[in-house]
Amino acid sequence: MLKNCVFSHFPIEMGKTRQTPREPIVLASGSQRRIDYFRLLGLPFSCVSPEVDEIVCENAGPQATAEELALKKVRKVVEITINHDDDRLWVCGADTLIAMNGKIFGKPKNRDDARNMLRLFSGNTHEVITAVALYSGRTQKSDCRSVVSTISFAPISDGEIEWYLDSGEWQDAAGSYKIQGLASCFVSKISGSYSSIVGLPLREFYVMLRDNGYPYGG
Q: What is the pLDDT of residues 151-170, one digit of tens each?
A: 999 999 999 999 999 999 99
Query: In this predicted structure, which of 20-24, 87-91, 122-126, 131-135 has the lowest mean pLDDT?
Result: 20-24
User: Measured between alpha carbons, how far is 58 from 66 in angstroms, rounded to an integer?
Assistant: 13
DSSP code of residue 23: P
Q: How many other CB atoms are found less than 10 A from the CB of residue 211?
A: 11
Q: In DSSP terms, which residues pair with 132 in a beta bridge?
A: 94, 145
Domains and CATH numbers, the chain: 7-211 (3.90.950.10)
Which are the catalytic amino acids?
95
Work out the average pLDDT over 30-37. 93
Nearest one of 89, 90, 108 to 98, comparing CA atoms: 108
Work out the average pLDDT over 29-45. 93
State how beta strands 90-100 and 125-136 pair: antiparallel
Residue 133 has pLDDT above 80, yes or no: yes
pLDDT number for residue 10: 44
User: Mean pLDDT for the chain?
Assistant: 88
Residues 6+ apart with CB under 8 A from 141: 135
Give 82-120 pLDDT, tens digit per residue: 676 688 899 999 999 999 999 999 889 999 999 999 999
What percentage of the chain exceeds 90 in pLDDT? 74
Query: In this predicted structure, which of 29-38, 55-64, 178-187, 196-205 has the lowest mean pLDDT?
Result: 55-64
Look at residue 81 and give its three-state secondary structure: coil
- CA distances (Å), 69 to each of 43, 89, 133, in order? 23, 20, 9
